[in-house]
């Protein structure tokens, strides 16, 4: 029964996620790209982003040890070089904060991860989408390749939608750090990145602040215009999710974070394994089918094989292991920095 309810809710939520507009609208936009050791990925992003109508691109080199700054300049972006985050700041948040200091008279801010690749009409279509929806902040995840996209991420997406529904009406508002477009006035009214200085769930944090100060927030599907290389391997995905989930739980729940993660891990391990271990039961087949339906809705959206939906219970069991890993192996690192 639980599987059926979760699946029905997740599928219904996806049905109401608006697609990015087919039309385009030019506006003044400052695109901020936080980058740490991204010399290999920046060319793909900047080739599509630099030169879009009305868009000025600033890459913030976050104490890179490679040629990130030189590559950014060579591809036509402005560069801000940073020695690293100030005391009390998370690395990515600090880098984005430095980028915002380069604002001139732009009406919109766009925050894009350095490992993204975007279509040359991305920004105009995002601005048109925000205008059509009357939104102050819109966000979209990208697409990628690799096993995590058709195995681990469908179940993780359900967890995300349960905590932060895509209509922006949950306890926290949903945004995905891959790509966030926010109206400058709404960003400043929300307090900017200073209000989230030490936050590791900066995307959801920003969306929630914008909503809390009167802004309208929506998650949209622009995945056909965005791809990411940051989650190409299963290990990359595991580490990326871990460096977000572990500190976010710590920030939200303090000393209760570990027992809550352990409980959630065990529950989801059972949630996935019971339909498999008790496969002769009609109830298990119902649960398996429900989990598969939710899984299929996600992979269909991100261009992954729908046949992978048959593995949904095993994906949920893996989510259980992931949550236990977050609980029992303290500390997370990303780009040679401790983040948890």
Last residue within a domain, chosen from 228, 259, 278:
228
User: For the chain, how many helices (H) and strands (E)?
Assistant: 13, 11
Are 7 and 43 within one domain? no
Q: Both tokens of residue 280? A: 């002769």
Are 171 and 57 within one domain? yes
Angle separating helix axes 153-163 and 312-328, nearest 10 degrees: 70
Q: Both tokens of residue 163? A: 């905590």
Query: Which residues form the domain of 248?
Result: 2-12+232-338
For the entire predicted model, the pTM comes to 0.92
pLDDT in tens, the chain (340 residues): 677 778 788 888 888 899 999 999 999 999 999 999 999 999 999 999 999 999 999 999 999 999 999 999 999 999 999 999 989 998 899 999 999 999 999 999 999 999 999 999 999 999 999 999 999 999 999 998 889 999 999 999 999 998 888 888 888 999 999 999 999 999 999 999 999 998 888 999 999 999 999 999 999 999 999 999 878 888 889 988 888 888 778 877 888 889 999 999 999 999 999 989 888 888 888 888 999 999 999 999 988 999 999 999 999 999 999 999 999 987 766 666 676 5
Are 38 and 157 within one domain? yes
Are 223 and 240 within one domain? no
Are 136 and 248 within one domain? no
Question: How many structural domains comprise the chain?
Answer: 2
Are 70 and 26 within one domain? yes
CA geometry: angle at 287 spanning 268 and 301, to 5°? 80
Q: CATH code at 71?
A: 3.90.550.10
């Amino acid at each position: 029964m639980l599987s059926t309810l979760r699946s029905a809710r997740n599928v219904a939520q996806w049905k109401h996620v608006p697609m990015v507009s087919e039309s385009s609208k030019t506006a003044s936009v400052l695109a901020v790209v936080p980058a740490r050791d991204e010399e290999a990925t920046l060319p793909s992003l900047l080739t599509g982003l630099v030169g879009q109508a009305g868009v000025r691109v600033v890459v913030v080199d976050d104490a890179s040890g490679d040629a990130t700054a030189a590559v950014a300049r060579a591809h036509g972006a402005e560069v801000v070089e940073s020695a690293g985050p100030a005391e009390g700041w998370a690395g990515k948040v600090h880098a984005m904060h430095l980028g915002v200091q380069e604002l001139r008279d732009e009406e919109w801010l766009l925050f894009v991860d350095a490992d993204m690749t975007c279509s040359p009409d991305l920004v105009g279509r995002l601005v048109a989408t925000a205008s059509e929806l009357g939104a102050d902040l819109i966000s979209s995840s990208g697409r990628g390749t690799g096993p995590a996209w058709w195995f681990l991420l469908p179940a993780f997406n359900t967890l995300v939608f349960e905590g932060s529904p895509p209509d922006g009406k949950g306890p926290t508002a949903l945004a995905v750090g891959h790509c966030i477009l926010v109206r400058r006035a709404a960003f400043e009214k929300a307090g900017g990145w200073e209000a989230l200085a030490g936050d590791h769930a900066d995307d959801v944090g920003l969306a929630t602040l914008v909503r809390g100060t009167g802004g309208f927030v929506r998650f949209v599907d622009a995945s056909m215009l965005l791809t990411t290389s940051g989650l190409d391997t299963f290990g990359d995905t595991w580490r990326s999710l871990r460096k977000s989930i572990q500190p976010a739980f710590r920030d939200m729940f303090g000393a209760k974070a570990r027992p809550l993660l352990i409980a959630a891990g065990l529950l989801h391990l059972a949630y996935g394994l019971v339909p498999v271990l008790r496969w002769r039961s009609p109830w298990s087949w119902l649960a398996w089918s429900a989990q598969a339906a939710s899984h299929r809705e996600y992979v269909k959206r991100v261009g992954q094989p729908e046949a992978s939906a048959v593995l949904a219970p095993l994906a949920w069991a893996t989510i259980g292991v992931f949550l236990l890993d977050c609980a029992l192996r303290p500390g997370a690192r990303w780009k040679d920095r401790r983040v948890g």
